[in-house]
Amino acid sequence: MFKDIFEQYQWDDVKAGIYSKTAADVEQALHNQRRTLDDFAALISPAAAPYLQPMAEMSHQKTLQRFGNTMQLYIPMYLSNECQNICTYCGFSLDNKIRRKTLSAAEILQETAVIKAMGYDHVLLVTGEAHQLVGLEYFKKTLQLLRPHFSHISMEVQPMDEADYATLIPLGLHAVLVYQETYHQEDYKKHHPKGRKSSFQYRLETPDRLGRAGIHKMGLGVLIGLEDWRTDSFFTALHLQYLEKKYWQTRYSISFPRLRPFSGGLEPKVEMNDRELVQLICAYRLFNQEVELSISTREQESFRDNIIRLGITSMSAGSRTNPGGYAADRQSLEQFEISDERSAAAIADMLKKSGYEPVWKDWDQVLG
């Protein structure tokens, strides 16, 4: 279990180690063919900032070789904003007085029609955490409803038990995204004071449960802005390295959500600027050539246009972050404000002009 490895590390020691990296450490990391976690720590350190250009060039080359001139496209479908958790940074938080909404089967199909018309074949189902209303039974029905319409279905919902995942995978669940939010155990509790999500351990062990259940693909990440992003990213990479060796048949992706404004919002404790996000993306690519790196519509247009060459392999476009946002209930409250408002067609056009093929379909249910 990852917990056993995690407990061998102390947050403050890891942080001090990253911030003490020198230019020589960075140069050694850039020189190495097969990079270690220690090399990753050097590449995300402040000492690596002057090396952004060579890092970007290497990241571009490695990404091109592994993924080619292609960009995977996906779109989120928010099913519900019901939530029994209090999360200090989320618009769906229990203490946030908003109108709550959970899509019915008919509404899900309405959303599906709009999403399919955009060209999408990959959908990411998103909910808050409300076990009674939006639990295993709801997910089973939703997967059965959606499976004929999509080749690839991902979920970003509350962590579940291994048996629940084992039930959903044969119904067409291909990927699960579960972000730790932060690996800072004490501060995790400050950000999640109430609800099931307040259990740091249960969340930390979720990827192990997913791996044992045999999920095809798993998404990891932290919410950038809650804690020191370098230290949090080190722990993410540690987690990734552990999972890849243990659950070797699973594919992995990393996302980089930066805290965005929302209704009743928390100011980020730590700001990450664009240069730092580029550094982090490149560091991940130099550390791991195979991991998929994803960027959402949280980021600004011009930034997204440029970042596609630096290591990113999948992106969302034309997103709505409120349940029913595409057709069923356009006015319900969004989870966070998106920055890139362009349509899927406009993003596809931008990709083509940049020499990339937008890939709408890269999986098929017939493959298992």
Partner 1 sequence: MTQPLTIAGRTFSSRLFTGTGKFAAASLMEEALLASGSELVTVALKRVDLQQQADDLLRHLHHPHIQLLPNTSGVRTAKEAVYAAQLAREALDTNWIKLEIHPDPRYLMPDPVETLLAATELVKLGFVVLPYIHADPVLCKRLEDAGVAAVMPLGSPIGSNKGLRTADFLDIIIAQSNVPVVVDAGIGAPSHAALAMEMGADAVLVNTALAVAKDPVKMAAAFKAGVAAGRMAYEAGLAPTSAQAIASSPLVAFLDEA
As a residue count, the chain comes to 368
Task: Report, in Å, the least distance between residue 303 CB and partner 1.
Answer: 22
CA atoms within 13 A on the CB side of 34: 0
Task: Report, in Å, the least distance between residue 36 CB and partner 1.
Answer: 16
Q: Should residue 345 be labelled a site residue for partner 1 when binding is judged by CB under 8 A? A: no
**Site map for partner 1, 282-321, x if CB under 8 A?**
--------x-------------------------------
- Give me 94's structure tokens: 């229990």
Of the ranges 129-137, 139-147, 184-192, 350-358, which one interacts with partner 1 (CB under 8 A)?
A: 350-358
Residue 4: how many other CB atoms lie within 10 Å: 8
C-alpha 128/C-alpha 327 separation (Å) is 20
Task: Report, in Å, the least distance between residue 292 CB and partner 1.
Answer: 10
8, 10, 132, 249: which one contacts partner 1 (CB under 8 A)?
A: 249
Which sign, positive or negative, has the C-alpha torsion 170, 312, 16, 23?
Answer: positive
Beta-carbon contacts of residue 75 (< 8 Å; ≥ 6 apart)? 115, 118, 120, 122, 123, 124, 316, 317, 318, 319, 344
Considering only residues 134 through 173, tell me which ones interact with partner 1, judged by CB under 8 A. 151
7, 24, 49, 68: which one contacts partner 1 (CB under 8 A)?
A: 68
- Give me 145's structure tokens: 């409803």
27, 52, 66, 327: which one contacts partner 1 (CB under 8 A)?
A: 66
> Beta-strand (E) ranges in 196-333?
217-221, 251-255, 292-295, 314-316
Of the ranges 65-73, 91-99, 198-206, 222-230, which one interacts with partner 1 (CB under 8 A)?
A: 65-73
C-alpha 146/C-alpha 122 separation (Å) is 11
Q: Should residue 121 be labelled a site residue for partner 1 when binding is judged by CB under 8 A? A: yes
CB 27 within 8 A of CB 6: no
**Site map for partner 1, 11-50, x if CB under 8 A?**
----------------------------------------
Q: Should residue 65 be labelled a site residue for partner 1 when binding is judged by CB under 8 A? A: yes
Which is closer to partner 1, CB of 70 or CB of 263?
70
Q: Should residue 57 be labelled a site residue for partner 1 when binding is judged by CB under 8 A? A: no
Which is closer to partner 1, CB of 271 or CB of 357?
357
Burial degree of 30 (CB within 10 A; 0-12, 13-18, 19+): middle
Q: Should residue 362 be labelled a site residue for partner 1 when binding is judged by CB under 8 A? A: yes
- Give me 363's structure tokens: 């999986």
Of the ranges 68-76, 83-91, 102-110, 132-140, which one interacts with partner 1 (CB under 8 A)?
A: 68-76
CB 277 within 8 A of CB 315: no
Which H or E run includes 59? helix 52-67
**Site map for partner 1, 213-242, x if CB under 8 A?**
------------------------------
Contacts 24+ apart (CB under 8 A), 12-15: 14/41, 14/231, 14/234, 14/235, 15/228, 15/230, 15/231
Which sign, positive or negative, has the C-alpha torsion 348, 61, 252, 337?
Answer: negative
Of the ranges 34-42, 44-52, 110-118, 244-252, which one interacts with partner 1 (CB under 8 A)?
A: 244-252
CB 183 within 8 A of CB 213: no
64, 105, 117, 345: which one contacts partner 1 (CB under 8 A)?
A: 64
6, 9, 179, 356: which one contacts partner 1 (CB under 8 A)?
A: 356
Considering only residues 72 through 91, tell me which ones interact with partner 1, judged by CB under 8 A. none
Which is closer to partner 1, CB of 196 or CB of 251?
251
28, 70, 88, 102: which one contacts partner 1 (CB under 8 A)?
A: 70
Residues that bind partner 1 in the complex, under the rule CB under 8 A = 64-70, 121, 151, 244, 248-251, 290, 352, 355-357, 359, 361-364, 366-368
